Chain A
Amino acid sequence: MRTTSADLHTLTGAYAVNALSDLERTAFEAHLTRCQSCAVEVTELAATAARLGAAVEFLPPPQLRARVLAAAAETRQLSPHTARVPDPRRKRWAGGLLAAACLVAAVFVTVDYSQSGQERQLAQLSSEYSRFSDFLSTPDAKLINGRAPNGATGTAVVSASRDEALFLAKDLPQAPDGHTYQLWLIGADGPHSAGLLDSRSSPVVVSGLTGAQEVALTVEPSGGSKAPTTPKVMAMPLA
Chain B
Amino acid sequence: MPERERALQSLQSTPRDVGPTADDLLALVARGDEAAFERLYDVMAGSVFGLIRRVVRDQAQSEEVFQEVMLEVWRTATRFDPDRGSANTWILTLTHRRAVDRVRSAQAATHREDRAARLDPARPFDEVSEQVDGRLEQRQVRRCLSFLTELQRESVLLAYYQGYSYPEVSSLLGIPLGTVKTRMRDGLIRLRDCMGVTG
Contacts and interface: CB of A to CB of B under 8 A. Distances in A.
Given A13-B184, A19-B169, A60-B63, A47 B86 contact: yes
Given A1-B177, A18-B97, A54 B74 contact: no
Contacts of A10: 178, 181-182, 185
Interface string B64-103: 0011001100111111000011101100110111001000
Q: Which of A7, A47, A53 neighbours the largest number of chain B CB atoms within 10 Å of its CB?
A: A53
A66 B132 CA distance: 29
A113 B167 CA distance: 8
A10 B179 CA distance: 10
A68 interface: yes
A36 B181 CA distance: 20
Interface stretch (A73-81, A88-96, A164-172): A73-81
A114 B192 CA distance: 32
B7 interface: no
Nearest to A63: B63
A148 interface: no
A12 B185 contact: yes
Contact of A1 (B66, B176, B188): B176
A123 interface: no
A47 B69 CA distance: 18
Interface in A45-73: 45-61, 64-65, 67-69, 71-73
Contact of B41 (A40, A46, A69, A76): A69
Contacts of B47: 53-54, 57
B197 A51 contact: yes
A43 B166 contact: no
Contact of B159 (A12, A14, A77): A14
Contacts of A77: 30, 32, 74-78
B50 A57 contact: yes
A14 B184 contact: yes
Interface string B182-193: 111111110110
Contacts of B187: 13
Interface in B128-184: 128, 131-132, 135, 137-138, 140-142, 156-157, 159-161, 163-167, 169, 171, 176-178, 180-184
Q: 7 smallest A-B Cβ distances: which pairs? A: A13-B185, A13-B184, A58-B50, A60-B49, A44-B199, A50-B92, A43-B199
